[in-house]
Amino acid sequence: MARDLSDATLDELRPALAGDVATNAAFDGWNSEAVAMAAATNGVDADVATLVYPGGAPDMIDAWFESIDAAMAQRFAGGALDNMKIRERIAALVETRLELMSGKREALRRALAILAMPQNATRAARLGWRSADRMWRLAGDTATDYNHYTKRGMLAGIYAATVLVFLDDESEDHEATRAFLSRRIDNVMQFEKTKAKWLGSAERRPSLSRFIGRLRYPAV
């Protein structure tokens, strides 16, 4: 049963209308018309609808992406990722996020074109980081050191590149996109192994500062 949104607050309408706004944006663009049509579909007052996304298209896109993140989290609620290896978790999360947008690729294409505008660069980077952070958290990552940032930066890059492949992928069940994603994850996993070996050897490497310290303060 559809939820009655006639008395919903603006904060409640923001995610509730996001999916329908995206559906309309595929045909009409990310604009007030898309919002008006979404409002009409859900029985929301037209005047109220004009207040839901005060920042225009970037706000609409932000809300849609956030709704996708929420749906992704719901899909994996209850420990669905627990028995997977880390690379499998990341792959499953990225693939699920793309699957949730698969019926609205034209809306996604138009959204990316808007986010690519210079005035939206900061917003675009923030949205990419937010999705990467949510995927890592769902995957069970608890890092708080510099790995917290490097993991999210790399995943944001992988996801952005995979989306570009996904937009033009006409293969069955998006197999080309899945294969591309798998290769990118393999590259990152190899990098992480190499980094771990380097850090391990660095820890075993003689320290000049420790050596000088021992000269000044010999052990007794």
**Please, which residues have CB within 8 angstroms of residue 37's CB and are 6 or more apart in sequence?**
20, 24, 28
The Cα 97–Cα 91 span in angstroms is: 10
Are 20 and 35 in contact by the 8 Å Cβ rule? The answer is no
DSSP 8-state code for residue 170: -
pLDDT of res. 91:
95
Full domain range(s) for residue 62:
56-175
Query: Is 93 part of any domain?
Result: yes
pLDDT above 70 (res 207): no
Q: How far apart are CA 77 and CA 79, in angstroms?
A: 6
Task: With a cut of 90, say whether residue 103 has pLDDT above it.
Answer: yes
Tell me how many domains the chain contains.
1
- Residue 32: enclosing H or E segment and its boundaries? helix 32-41
Mean pLDDT of 187-214: 60
Domain-embedded: residue 182: no
- Taking the C-alpha atoms of residue 131 and residue 163, their distance in angstroms, rounded to an integer, is 13
User: Is the confidence at residue 203, as pLDDT, over 90?
Assistant: no
Residue 220: what pLDDT?
Answer: 47
Instruction: Decide: pTM greater than 0.95.
Output: no
Q: Which pLDDT does position 19 carry in this prediction?
A: 96
Alpha-carbon gap, residue 179 to 193, rounded angstroms: 21
Residue 161 has pLDDT above 70, yes or no: yes
3-state secondary structure of 143: coil
Cα separation, 54 vs 192, whole angstroms: 42
Q: Is residue 159 part of a domain?
A: yes
pLDDT at 82: 92
Q: How many Cβ atoms sit within 10 Å of the Cβ of residue 166?
A: 24
What is the model's pLDDT at position 30? Answer: 98
Average pLDDT score, the chain: 88
pLDDT of residue 145: 84
Least Cα distance to 155 among 140, 134, 169 occurs for: 134
- Provide the residue type at 61 as one letter: I
Contact between 78 and 135 under an 8 Å Cβ cutoff? The reply is no
194 located within any domain: no
* pLDDT above 70: residue 173: yes
Mean predicted confidence (pLDDT) in 21-50: 95
In a domain, 100, yes or no: yes
Half-sphere exposure (Cβ direction) of 172: Cα atoms closer than 13 Å: 0
